[in-house]
Structure 1
């Protein structure tokens, strides 16, 4: 069955409650762009870059696209990030670039290398993995290795209910990277599922170290070689991410909780000490 393409609500039709709930509440440093009456202009996006950065956002116009470059090639060669104005998807992409530039640059280098290898009209397994992560990616930092067995088995009731406190104590934390996930979060009660990379970390290491570890592994071609490297993570099970997940019944029968497919095995996580 063909999936229906998601269409984000118009700016003035967004239910304001979504901005007070994860994941969008975690982006309050861009609150004026998200909750303001008017769309931010391209100049406003570029004003948020730190000094000395090569990349900048440019309006996606027909004249720009006529240069014949692939979207990723344009970024790599000229530092130009084509951005549709008054568009939720591209606004969230800009926010991801501003928060996680190291990850975005590593991903861009890999994507450009694949375009050069297979051509602009073909899609390789690495490109599929890179796109999945770019659109729906999450970096999960685990400081309690025992939780990984629950995830491996798709024991969602165990991961999100029996060990519910792990999500508030720091035993497990999530850094959202996929800009399509942020766009989908504009719709109240939409069930979100991320494509996750897992980092095992000790208690002293912060999330920034885990993000840097992922960026390095991507740049070194140790990650995102195949879509099967990515683990599904039903983000709506995390406390505070869905209004109904405070009830045990949510974790027993919600559609985003899929059973483990026969023969499916996940790769070992990255390790950060």
Structure 2
């Protein structure tokens, strides 16, 4: 089996895919000649963790196996262990740059849960934090019709009939770095977990960086005040390849695959 060089691995990904449009706009990913180093993130991030330590990305090789748990290292030192030439950790770093307040809060919540339950017992709250951190998609909505449509799996209406409203009354913002990793080689079946965030009408008129700042602040408040991730009940399945603009899905026939765009399962009374 052929072993690909880091250069070949970098250029083998489909980073031109529409799902990466925000990253290409804000970080010029497709213009990078090769994998970025840890120091590269510093030009995009000036943030502290909840313990008031500056966030810095450090090569994972610098940490021994006897070190504290991953989330504890970040909370205690501000250092984010980062594997080199690794999609998962690259996208994890970019999410820190886009959602610094929310990421610091999630890190703090993990440490609080570990302090209470230990590293081997995972509470409902910690499971929800992890699920959102890995697979979350923020759906910013200014119209309350969207949660009703998408939570009820009304895919045809949401993705086809109301397609022109995407970017006007609803917009997707990826949070889960595992989603991004899987989208480097997209496949039918790829599904994220949507969290609906109510936003003012004028947010979609702001530039992209301002939109992320607004959503980061709102997410922070939803988690810290409303405790929206106390469990995973507010997370809803979202077929990622169905999101308008994120894939080659302009043909309405694409959405006829009911194995992927599944109808809502009926609950027995």
In which range does the TM-score fall when normalised by the shorter chain?
0.7 to 0.9
Give the alignment's TM-score, normalised by structure 2.
0.84
RMSD, matched Cα: 2.6
Matches within 5 A, 1:1-273: 12-13=8-9, 18-28=14-24, 29-32=26-29, 36-50=32-46, 54-61=54-61, 64-168=63-167, 170-205=168-203, 207=211, 208-220=213-225, 222-243=227-248, 245-253=249-257, 255-263=259-267
Q: Deviations over 1:169-215 (max 9, x none)?
A: x1111111111111111114555322111122331345443331111
**How far apart, CA to CA, are the structure 2 residues paired with 1:98 and 1:210?**
13
| Residues 51 and 58 of structure 1: CA distance in aligned 2, closer, same or farther (over 3 Å) | same
Q: Which segment drifts farther, 154-163 or 208-217? A: 208-217
Secondary structure of the structure 1 residue equivalent to 2:44: coil
Give the corresponding residue for 1:5.
none
* Unmatched runs of 5 consecutive residues or more in structure 1: 1-8, 265-273
Question: TM-score if structure 1 supplies the norm length?
Answer: 0.82
Deviation at 1:167, TM superposition (A): 0.9
Q: Structure 1: how far apart are the matches of 2:47 and 2:118?
A: 34
Q: After superposition, what is the alpha-carbon deviation per residue over 1:68-126, rounded to whole angstroms, capped at 9, x for unaligned?
A: 31111111111110111111110111111112111101111111111111101111111
CA distance in 1, matches of 2:44, 2:145: 40
CA displacement, residues 13-47 of structure 1 (integer Å, 9 cap, x when unaligned): 56768322221122113235x55343222222334
CA drift at 1:51: 7.8
How far 1:67 moved relative to its partner?
4.7
